[in-house]
Chain A
Amino acid sequence: MDNSTQESHLRSENFFTHDSPYPIYAMAFSSSSDRIHRIAVGSFLEEYNNKVDIISFDEETLTFKTDPNLSFDHPYPPTKLMFHPNGAKSLRKSSNLLASSGDYLRLWEVRENSIEPRALLNNSKTSEFCAPLTSFDWNDAEPRRIGTSSIDTTCTIWDVERGVVDTQLIAHDKEVYDIAWGEVGVFASVSADGSVRIFDLRDKEHSTIVYESPQPDTPLLRLSWNKQDLRYMATILMDSNKVVILDIRSPGLPVAELERHRACINAIAWAPQSCRHICSAGDDAQALIWELPTVAGPNGIDPILAYTAGSEINQLQWSALQPDWIAIAFANKMQLLKV
């Protein structure tokens, strides 16, 4: 069991880098509980031809493996990738469902050695045109549901099993940039209009504004809902180095602002197994892990852990099943970090 040579080798390296031929933006951890992690990585090329690769990471050998069969073309860069939240349960054991957003919401079936497109979901009833999607979120409590956010100010809730639109809500005054589920029927979204709004599908007429950016019309770019404690969510503003932590019980005022990044923030992720920890990454090439104190000190909150990457970190994902792994993307590298 003890292999000292290997262990000493391991110790010298505490992160694992995958070099991609192209710049990376979208990224997703597979939720199937294999020993071998699968990570979907989407290229970011400002042209039509883009790629999504499924990369395997073996925890035993600590190596990445790419397979040309586990790769597909994507029209323009995917704005988000996400695996089916319940992993292999819903499908045959060896396959997994991956969703991507861009012009449409697409579903792909990732098998052992191949990938098949499964569906293309277009929400426009009147024409074939569907406004491009900025993001989406898969409801892990009800995996039939995917919510998409679009630049046409709407959020669309899909029943992906039937491939039909459940409901479409005009959510904001401007482009919607991100969406996140809280419960089965509750989601929140952020928008260029600078607001965070919560929607309850049981009452579609109303939404609750829980936060508005201090300068009007400063767009909010990303949103992350604390899955361990649904009272909390986090958002980031355009051109800001702050992570804004919101408590939905006290709308309007953030409960905390995490401002130790030295440049703008690009991505945030709550810890999958702890309600008090959040990771953020930004242009200062740092990924910081924060622990939210019960009472904030006068000088703000300091992060507890930090990692410095080679350049601006554009993406951050915290593995839900292996919570000791965080993946970041910068330039054309994807890195797995051990927490």
Chain B
Amino acid sequence: MCWTMATGLQNQDGVPENHLRKQLAFAVRSIQWSYAIFWSISTRQQGVLAWGDGYYNGDIKTRKTVQPMELNTDQMGLQRSEQLRELYESLSAGDTNQQARRPSAALSPEDLSDAEWYYLVCMSFVFKPGQGLPGRTLANGQPIWLCNAHHADSKVFSRSLLAKSASIQTVVCFPFLGGVVELGVTELVLEDPSIIQNVKTSFLEFPEPMCSEQSTSSPQNVDNEESLELKHEVDNTVALDKFNPTPECEMEPEIASQTFPQCLSPCMAKEDIEQDGIEELDANICDDIKSGSPDNGSNECRANQQTEDSFMLDGMNGGTSQVQSWQVMDDEFSNCVHGSMNSSDCISQIFVNPQKVVSSPKGERINNLQLQDLQECNHTKLGSLDLGNDDLHYSRALSAIFKNSHPLIVGPGFHTGNHESSFKSWKRRGFLDAQMVKIGTPQKILKKVLFEVAQMHDGSLLKSRELNTGKVGLCKAEGDDVDLNHVLSERRRREKMNEKFLVLRSLVPSISKVDKASILGDTIEYLKELERRVEELESCRELSEFEAKARRKHPDIAERTSDNYGYNDISNGKKPTINKRKAIDIDETEPELNQVLSKDGSAADVIVSVIDKEVLIEIRCTWRDCLFFDIMDTVSNLHLDAHSVQSSTVDGILTVMLKTKFRGVAVASAGMVKQALQRVISKC
């Protein structure tokens, strides 16, 4: 056997086991027990016993099959064992894609009987020498016969709880081929060395009595187990029908080819393949062809309809790819087995969780099994676990989310978490459902929080300036009085805010709606319009600058308003202080500008600046009778109180400087004041 090591390293675990499985099957069936497991030395972890192979011979709850033809009981049993193994691997892989990859005939957890669950969970176990039943058997080299396994102390039989759920009563272990063979049955069987002897013999005898309808399932099989015979086979093209096929292995198309006559040599001639490959394939095909089993494989009989040649090709290709897939499978397989020390916690949890979605006490118990402490594990009935696909989906998702493969890192909330998940597995809706749902304003609250709450606070700015000089400016304030103060000031801010909005509304002619957003919107539009006009006028002014110099003596009306006013009000007070400062700066420089740059043909020069409630008015115009009183009248009609007046008349030009203040809340815009004054002035 050793000489195959180099070539068949990956296959070593898998393929002999395949053979082993048949031996186990034969053994366990010969004594009519429920299952047989071969615990072999793990290649990954020195000295540790891990699942080698097994055969399940017990009760079956649901049988799923896609095979059109009846299988005999041998094959069904092997198939079942293989399916259980596949299920275990898909569960332990924990990959959500696994489900999709599994063939339709594969089992899902809800198909399993109690005993099958027991068998499945056993796959996750590993034993150190001296630990558990298999471990001690290996250490002592003596068979152990355990009756009443379901009542056994967990120190003796770590799976006693599981056994109880599966009603396994008798478990026997004996050393075999460097590993340990374990047999179990649901009945109570008293110790009887002849049974062990019987089993051992049947191992030895095997496969002779069983070979009637068998074919070789894989060349590696032959390689490893019967290497000499393989050579023999290849050389002489003599088929030795030694082994049971595994009906679910990927070779079935080839197996189905048994109806074809021998055709080994043409095939070899046609295909120019490296010698080794050919040898393998030849053995493969050859065996297939010769094996006479009518029951075999034959799942897909496509080969039957094909011509001889094309079949051969098929067979070759199939053989090659099959070899590859074997290796892949074996890789996974051995990973799984040997990694089980690490992943077994996780696995058992996966098995158990789905019932109570989040790691239930049961899950922990089973982990405890692993930790060989079963004292508190009273009546977990594993077999009652009813795993739906959804549940399985959950458990995978959850274990991934929580990384709860180890009970120790499970969060504190876990222990009381006995309720089911609020979440359901997501399902794709139908086509119609996939359309977007139309809802009033999308992200309504989120938008309000981000866009409007800020405005609410903004509205209160001016107020805070008036009321809390300095106090709120503290970076860190202590205690209640600030809070209280703040509450009051905030309230006042809001009132003020609303007040200002009313003012704004009265100022902008185009405002149609009452709500704050449209007031602001309309104001923005209005301002843009004004800005546009200002720009227009300024460009006009540049053009007329020349002429203006020549006619400096003619007082003009400059169409200027202080646009800072409006801006201040709608700028959300982002940088009010700065804006305000700017406003003042401009006002200070403007009189000069206006004197120089006056507009041709106009009779008067009016400047209005509004800062808060203060209105500064400067007028230069041609003097006429009663003009001064008319101006004061107009000012008064605009709800302005003049608190400082300067006036002079030089060379028939009246110069008036008015500092005024708005009475009450009604505030006219600078433009309105200016227009009114110009009307008065030009009224001769």
Report A's interface with B, CB cutoff 8 A: 1, 7, 10-11, 13-15, 23, 25, 33, 35, 44, 46-48, 59-60, 62, 73, 75-77, 79, 102-103, 117, 119-124, 126-129, 131-132, 134, 151-152, 163-165, 175, 177, 221-222, 238-239, 241, 260, 262-267, 271, 273-274, 276-277, 283-284, 287-289, 291, 302-307, 312, 314, 319, 321-326, 337-339
Query: With contacts A77-B449, A131-B574, A260-B426 known, what are 4 further pairs, Cβ within 8 A?
Result: A35-B416, A274-B403, A289-B397, A338-B419
Chain B residues, CB < 8 A from A221: 443, 446-447, 450
Chain A residues, CB < 8 A from B491: 48
**In-complex Cβ contact of A305 among B358, B412, B423, B435 (8 A):** B423
The CA-CA distance from A271 to B398 in the complex, in Å, is: 11
Q: A239-B442, A241-B436 are in contact. Are A338 and B420 (CB under 8 A)?
A: yes
What is the CB-to-nearest-CB distance from B257 to chain A, in angstroms, rounded to a whole number? 37
Chain B residues, CB < 8 A from A1: 361
Q: Are B413 and A321 in contact (CB under 8 A)?
A: yes
The CA-CA distance from A117 to B482 in the complex, in Å, is: 10
Chain B residues, CB < 8 A from A35: 412, 416
Q: Are A303 and B412 in contact (CB under 8 A)?
A: no
**In-complex Cβ contact of B573 among A129, A283, A339 (8 A):** A129
Report B's interface with A, CB cutoff 8 A: 96, 357-358, 361, 393-394, 397-398, 400-403, 411-414, 416-429, 433-439, 442-450, 452-454, 456-458, 460-461, 464-465, 468-480, 482-483, 486-487, 490-491, 494, 573-574, 576-577
Return the chain A residue nearest B422 by Cβ: A337
The CA-CA distance from A126 to B574 in the complex, in Å, is: 13
| Chain A-chain B contacts (Cβ-Cβ < 8 Å), number | 233
What is the CB-to-nearest-CB distance from B170 to chain A, in angstroms, rounded to a whole number? 30
Chain A residues, CB < 8 A from B422: 14-15, 307, 326, 337-339
The CA-CA distance from A35 to B443 in the complex, in Å, is: 34
The CA-CA distance from A322 to B361 in the complex, in Å, is: 17
Return the chain B residue nearest A34 by Cβ: B412
Q: Are B574 and A304 in contact (CB under 8 A)?
A: no
The CA-CA distance from A134 to B446 in the complex, in Å, is: 10
The CA-CA distance from A60 to B418 in the complex, in Å, is: 10
Q: Are A263 and B445 in contact (CB under 8 A)?
A: no
The CA-CA distance from A269 to B491 in the complex, in Å, is: 35
Q: Are B401 and A338 in contact (CB under 8 A)?
A: no
Q: A15-B422, A128-B473, A339-B421 are in contact. Are A314 and B445 (CB under 8 A)?
A: yes
12 A-B pairs with CB atoms under 8 Å apart are A35-B416, A44-B448, A266-B445, A267-B446, A273-B402, A283-B442, A283-B444, A291-B401, A305-B425, A307-B422, A326-B422, A338-B357
Q: Are A59 and B472 in contact (CB under 8 A)?
A: no
**Which 4 residue pairs across A and B have the least CB separation, nearest first?**
A163-B476, A322-B413, A337-B422, A305-B423
The CA-CA distance from A287 to B422 in the complex, in Å, is: 10
Q: Are B358 and A338 in contact (CB under 8 A)?
A: yes
Chain A residues, CB < 8 A from B411: 273, 321-324
Chain B residues, CB < 8 A from A283: 437, 439, 442-444
Chain B residues, CB < 8 A from A276: 400
Chain A residues, CB < 8 A from B490: 48, 75-76, 103
Q: Are B456 and A305 in contact (CB under 8 A)?
A: no
**In-complex Cβ contact of B401 among A15, A23, A274 (8 A):** A274
Q: A128-B472, A324-B358, A338-B421 are in contact. Are A263 and B400 (CB under 8 A)?
A: no
Q: Are B420 and A11 in contact (CB under 8 A)?
A: yes
Chain A residues, CB < 8 A from B452: 46
The CA-CA distance from A36 to B435 in the complex, in Å, is: 41
